[in-house]
Amino acid sequence: MKKHLVAPSVLAADFTRLREEIEMVNQSEADWFHLDVMDGRFVPNITFGMFIIEAINKMAQKPLDVHLMIVEPEKYIESFRKAGAQVITVHLEACPHLHRTVHQIKETGALAGVALNPHTPVSLLEDLIEDIDLVCLMSVNPGFGGQKFIYQTLPKIRKLREIIDTANAKTLIEIDGGVGLQNAESLLQAGADVLVAGSSVFGAKDPRATISALKAFTSVFV
Ligand code: DX5
Ligand code: ZN
């Protein structure tokens, strides 16, 4: 049985102690680092870019899952790959030529991810699903950590699982926003493969133990 992945979102880390926080994830059972790039245009917030990702890559001992919440992401894919991204996720809502952008990501050797905002139906990916390595379902409106999980994400996971299985594709389903110990199990039961967790991990008394607890849940699907 394949185990689900846990990807702590560094956005919720204490950046005055970034090395320690990265080291904590290195030592934990986490699988990936989730890195949120925001441009103040696609989302109403600005975070960090390739410069910080390059620095994190020097300390990180696990793959970097880079979530681009930016307009015109196609302009920066090669740069993020060079900075160390192993998964590059773009938003469907930011890509008028999604097929081209997905293949541009794959040509760099990275895994290609497509993120959907909470209101975007999963059916829009039906014709491209075989080409996509990961679908990131946003379970909050992108832009900020620490928001409340939007419950309508659950039926979206089930629908997406069906689309993936019908196409016989290997696409991973990632859930991003408001994920924690309280909903991890139902997300996995619905068909999730990757859990992104920001504040529930870095805000916990014992972040490493929280990561282990997130890893310990089981799913009937993966
Ligand atoms: C939101 C980001 C998320 C965020 C998750 O726009 O894409 O990755 O950091 O944070 P939590 O887990 O605190 O909701
Ligand atoms: Zn994210």
pLDDT tens-digit series, residues 51-62: 999 999 999 999
pLDDT, residue 143, reads 98
Identify the CA nearest to 116 among candidates 148, 156, 151: 156
Q: Is 193 left (phi over 0), alpha (psi -120 to 50) or beta?
A: alpha
Please write the tens of the pLDDT for every residue from 77-91: 999 999 999 999 999
Residue 38: per-residue pLDDT: 98
> Tokens for 59?
């300390």
Cβ-contact 78, 108 below 8 angstroms: yes
In our burial notation (b when 16+ CB lie closer than 10 A, e otherwise), range 116-148 reads: bbeebebeebeebbebbbbbbbbbbebbbbeee
d(CA 44, CA 220): 37
List Cβ neighbours of 15 (8 Å cut-off, separation of 6 or more): none
Residue range 169-197: mean pLDDT, rounded = 98
Among residues 74, 85, 91, 116, which one has the least CA distance to residue 10? 85
Q: Distance of CA 103 to CAs 6, 25, 107, Å?
A: 25, 30, 6
Q: What is the pLDDT of residue 11?
A: 98
Nearest ligand 1 atom to the CA of 177 is: 14
- Is residue 102's pLDDT more than 60? yes
Query: What's this model's pTM, rounded to 2 decimal places?
Result: 0.98
How far is the C-alpha of 45 from the C-alpha of 36, rounded, in Å? Answer: 11
Q: Which atom of ligand 1 is nearest to the CA of 38?
A: 6
What is the pLDDT of the chain when averaged over all its residues?
Answer: 97
pLDDT at 1 over 80: no
Distance from the CA of 197 to the center of ligand 1, in angstroms? 7
Ligand 1 pocket at CB < 6 A: 9, 11-12, 34, 36, 67, 140, 142-143, 145-147, 176-179, 196-200
- Mean pLDDT over 32-47 rounds to 98
State residue 220's pLDDT score. 65
Residue type, 222: V
Question: What is the pLDDT at residue 2?
Answer: 72
pLDDT for residue 139 is more than 60: yes
Mutate to test the pocket of ligand 1, among 139, 150, 181, 196 (most ligand atoms within 8 A of CB): 196
Q: Is 176 a catalytic residue?
A: yes
Q: What is the pLDDT of residues 200-220, one digit of tens each?
A: 999 999 999 999 999 999 876
- Kindly report the CATH class assigned to 5-216: alpha beta
Here the tokens at position 83 are 């900075």
Closest to 36 in 3D by CA, of 70, 60, 83: 70
Q: To the nearest whole percent, how much of the chain has pLDDT over 90?
A: 97
- Ligand 1: residue whose CA is nearest its atom 4: 145
Q: Is residue 221 over pLDDT 80? A: no
What is the three-class DSSP state of 190? helix
Mean pLDDT of 152-177: 98
